[in-house]
């Protein structure tokens, strides 16, 4: 499907002379963050405990032994974050709202201090001419709800819809665009399937149940939000990877299709079409999901925006006896062929192009925004204090070129958010993986724009870049 140079960081450059890459008028440029990864202030403003507080304080769960207690201290230093966004000329900021700041016990009336924090943040963004794009759930479930069964328990869907309604009631006078979930596939699989993220449960049955309850929660939340205002534009951010067979064999091709279903459609298809992908069902899965009468109708909602979180591609081989029943295995670091980031993720810009074209064709050309895309590299300040993260610039050049080709091919993409604004608490990796456009000094909590941040500002100012120009290289 791809037309680009496979695996190249800068396909446009390799293909010879090319005209300037220009993004559509009114294209949104921004950065994304998440509450637990940046806020800190975990005991302030009446905030309750989240599953990530409990998990990160459990010995051995975080590679560096850190917690998110302080993180980037954005609870106090959010004006610094807004200043960085301004410096780069961003006109959109995707952040997340911490559920336990709003409902410390996961139920009941909203905590006024929690709401006030987000009012201050939103007001600062609006004053800077930046669209606030809050995500309602980026993985920090109130611990009290986990104690009552967490995402595998159906009641959590009702609790979530109540919380969603409270948020839009409180902030809806100044926020118009919303994202419901961040990466349902990741937090259910990592959190309940393999247990490497909070709440640390490794149980296939719990994971499958959680996926269905999350789908229900999204449908319920969408309706609750819509009831508050027909003016809201409501989306969700899903994790995607273009799945490619690792060989020319038909068994690998079938395996890649099954992985596409599990990875890219498990949440999207029920939401937009009211059905789970058939080719991902093996014996026992429908029963494990505990689908009840009327569930699929409650899940199906017309999202206004599809948020695309994409980092890499999946190269797939058929596999028998895999513990998940996928009949497939996505090759990891050793098997894939492109360059790798510090996290070991393959840099493969065509994945973004290919995935967008496929989803656009399969789902009647919905409106997309890129809600996350980025890379981890540990570049630190040099003797001159500058952070020369040239590999990150190469990464963005490649993915933005691929995105531009998708737009030229007719895909409706309205905006792009780099992951992430500043180096932060990267979940089970602690602060060990740096994805930021700004460097965070985790002693002083000072932020400094990296060279990639300056380059991003240049791209935003021109609404594109010239692949042939030296000035646009870095």
Sequence-distant (6+) residues with CB within 8 A of 215 are 184, 267, 270, 271, 299
- At a CB cut-off of 8 Å and minimum separation 6, what does 342 contact? 376, 377, 378, 433, 434
Establish whether 183 is a catalytic residue: yes
What is the SS3 assignment for 418?
Answer: strand
Q: Work out how close the CB of 317 gets to ligand IFM at its nearest, in angstroms, rounded to a whole number.
A: 24
Q: Which is nearer to ligand IFM, 259 or 310 (CB)?
A: 310
If the CB atoms of residues 21 and 359 are measured against ligand IFM, the closer one turns out to be 359
Measured from each CB, the residue nearest to ligand IFM is 34
CB nearer ligand IFM, residue 271 or residue 433: 433
Which backbone phi and psi does 453 adopt, to 5 degrees? -65, -40
- Helix, strand, or coil here: 95? strand
Pick 262 or 276: Cβ nearer ligand IFM: 262
Residue closer to ligand IFM by CB (options 240, 435) is 435
Closest contact distance (angstroms) between CB of 27 and ligand IFM is: 22
Q: Give me the catalytic one of 146, 183, 220, 346.
A: 183
Asked if 140 touches ligand IFM (CB under 6 A), the answer is no
Length of the chain: 474
Find the DSSP H helices in 229-367.
Answer: 250-260, 268-273, 285-289, 295-299, 350-362
Q: How far is the CB of 186 from ligand IFM (least distance, A)?
A: 7
Q: Is 309 in the site for ligand IFM (CB under 6 A)?
A: yes
- In the complex with ligand IFM, the residue whose CB is nearer, 69 or 105, is 69
C-beta separation of 31 from 90 below 8 A:
yes
For ligand IFM, which is the closer residue by CB, 326 or 419?
Answer: 419
* 147 to 186: interface string for ligand IFM, x by CB under 6 A: ------------------------------------x---
The catalytic position among 39, 220, 372, 426 is: 372
Q: Cα(397)–Cα(401) distance, rounded to whole angstroms?
A: 6
Distance, CA of 428 to CA of 62 (rounded, Å): 4
Q: Smallest Cα–Cα separation from 261: which of 250, 249, 273?
A: 273
Respond yes or no: is residue 146 known to be catalytic.
no
Per-residue interface string for the shown chain with ligand IFM, residues 5-34, x marking contact by CB under 6 A: -----------------------------x
What are the φ/ψ torsions at residue 465 (nearest 5 degrees)? Answer: -160, 165
SS3 251: helix
Residue 426 interacts with ligand IFM (CB under 6 A)?
yes
Q: Which long-range contacts (CB under 8 A, 24 or more apart) does 400-403 make?
A: 400/21, 400/459, 400/465, 401/4, 401/10, 401/11, 401/12, 401/21, 401/349, 401/467, 402/4, 402/11, 402/349, 402/350, 402/351, 402/352, 402/353, 403/352, 403/353, 403/356, 403/370
| Residue 37 CB, nearest approach to ligand IFM (Å) | 6
Q: How many CB atoms lie within 10 A of CB 47?
A: 25
Does position 423 interact with ligand IFM (CB under 6 A)? The reply is: no
Residue 36 found at the interface with ligand IFM (CB under 6 A): no
At 200, give phi and psi (nearest 5°).
85, 30
CB of 113 to ligand IFM, least distance (A): 25
Query: Is 71 a residue that touches ligand IFM (CB under 6 A)?
Result: no
Instruction: Tell me the per-residue interface mask from 322 to 361 with ligand IFM, x by CB under 6 A, - otherwise.
Output: ----------------------------------------
Q: Residue 424: helix, strand or coil by DSSP?
A: coil
CB of 391 to ligand IFM, least distance (A): 16
CB of residue 135 to ligand IFM, shortest distance in Å: 10
Shortest CB 138 distance to ligand IFM, Å = 6
Which spans in 284-416 are helix H?
285-289, 295-299, 350-362, 390-408
State both tokens at 294. 């009327």
**Backbone CA torsion sign across 371, 375, 376, 378:** negative
Nearer to ligand IFM, 37 or 452 (CB): 37
Q: Which of 419, 439, 456, 465 binds ligand IFM (CB under 6 A)?
A: 419
Q: Which of residues 428-457 bind ligand IFM (CB under 6 A)?
A: 435
Position 372 contacts ligand IFM (CB under 6 A): yes
Are 57 and 87 in contact by the 8 Å Cβ rule? The answer is no
Catalytic residues: 183, 372
Give the binding site for ligand IFM (CB under 6 A): 34, 37, 183, 309, 372, 419, 426, 435
């Amino acid at each position: 499907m791809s037309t680009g140079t496979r695996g190249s960081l800068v396909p446009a450059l390799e293909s010879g002379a090319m005209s300037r890459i220009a993004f559509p008028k009114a294209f949104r440029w921004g950065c994304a963050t998440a509450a637990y990864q940046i806020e800190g202030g975990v005991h302030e403003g009446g905030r309750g405990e989240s599953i990530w507080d409990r998990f990160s304080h459990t010995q051995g769960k975080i590679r560096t032994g850190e917690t998110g207690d302080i993180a980037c201290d954005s609870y106090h230093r959010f004006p610094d974050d807004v200043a960085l966004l301004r410096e780069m000329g961003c006109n959109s900021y995707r952040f997340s709202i911490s559920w336990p700041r709003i409902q410390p016990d996961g139920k009941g009336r909203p905590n006024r201090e929690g709401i006030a924090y987000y009012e201050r943040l939103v007001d600062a963004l609006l004053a800077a001419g930046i669209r606030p794009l809050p995500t309602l759930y980026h993985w920090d479930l109130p611990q009290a709800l986990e104690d009552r069964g967490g995402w595998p328990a159906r009641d959590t869907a009702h609790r979530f819809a109540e919380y969603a309604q409270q948020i839009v009631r409180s902030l809806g006078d100044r926020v118009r665009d919303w994202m419901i979930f961040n990466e349902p596939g990741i937090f259910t699989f990592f959190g309940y399937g393999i247990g490497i993220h909070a709440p640390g449960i490794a149980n296939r049955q719990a994971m499958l149940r959680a996926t269905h309850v999350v789908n229900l929660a999204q449908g319920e939340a969408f309706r609750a939000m819509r009831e508050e205002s027909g003016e809201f534009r409501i989306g969700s951010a899903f994790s995607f990877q273009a799945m490619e067979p690792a060989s020319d064999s038909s068994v690998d091709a079938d395996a890649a299709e099954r992985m596409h279903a599990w990875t890219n459609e498990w949440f999207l298809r029920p939401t937009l079409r009211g059905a789970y992908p058939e080719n991902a069902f093996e014996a026992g899965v429908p029963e494990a999901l505990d689908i009840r009468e009327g569930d699929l109708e409650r899940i199906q909602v017309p999202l206004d925006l599809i948020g695309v979180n994409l980092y890499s591609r999946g190269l797939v081989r058929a596999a028998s006896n895999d513990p998940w029943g996928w009949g497939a295995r996505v090759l990891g670091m050793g098997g894939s062929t492109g360059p790798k980031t510090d996290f070991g993720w393959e840099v493969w810009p065509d994945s973004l192009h290919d995935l967008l074209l496929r989803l656009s064709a399969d789902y009647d050309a919905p409106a997309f925004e890129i809600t996350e895309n980025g890379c981890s590299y540990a570049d630190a300040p040099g003797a001159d204090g500058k952070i020369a993260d040239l590999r990150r610039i190469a990464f963005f050049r490649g993915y933005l070129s691929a995105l531009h080709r998708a737009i030229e091919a007719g895909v409706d993409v309205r905006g792009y958010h780099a992951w992430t604004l500043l180096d932060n608490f990267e979940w089970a990796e602690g602060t060990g993986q740096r994805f930021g456009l700004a460097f965070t000094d985790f002693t002083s909590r000072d932020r400094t724009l990296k060279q990639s941040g300056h380059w991003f500002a240049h791209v935003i100012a021109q609404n594109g870049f010239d692949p042939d120009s030296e000035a646009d290289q870095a």
